[in-house]
Amino acid sequence: MATENKNLSDYDKTTIPNANKFRFGIVVSEWNHDITENLFKGAYNTLLEHGVLAGNIVRWNVPGSFELIYGCKKMQEQMVNAVIAVGSVIKGETKHFDFICDSVAHGIKDLNVTGETPVVFCVLTDNTKQQAIDRSGGKHGNKGTEAAIAAIKMAELRKNS
């Protein structure tokens, strides 16, 4: 596993730009709410830690991970510097997992290719609930933290390009 020997919450704080002038959107899937809420908290707290004002963090909820694409597309229109897509898809007994994971990954990619506002992929695609717990604040850290750092870096890149 990619996160087996890495803590998703570990990073060098000295390399992160001050984000106090940026505004971020976070679109959160309601499916697997306990997981996505932990991912949101990781992202939200990390943004605050790097100078983002609470009033400059806009949160929208959508029903599931598939709906993240539309939510992020609309969030790109809200004068934000970057968007974070937060979701959790846990494999079941059918191919639904594959269709959702592929669609969401391609949809977020398409938003990045066609839009001016970067969208960061913070969607866990795990085989088990325990793997999702481990990556949303458990033993492997919090993917939400990692996504917030990516969003800050992408907002800075957008500002400087």
Q: Mean pLDDT lowest for which of 9-23, 124-138, 146-160? A: 9-23
Active site residue 50: no
CA angle 73, 86, 39 (to 5 degrees): 155
Question: 94: pLDDT confidence band, cut at 50, 70 and 90?
Answer: confident
Provide the percentage of residues in the chain whose pLDDT is more than 90.
84
Catalytic residue among 33, 96, 106, 140: 96
Q: Do 46 and 69 touch, CB atoms closer than 8 A? A: no
The hierarchical CATH code for the domain 23-160 is 3.40.50.960
pTM value? 0.94
DSSP symbol at 122? E
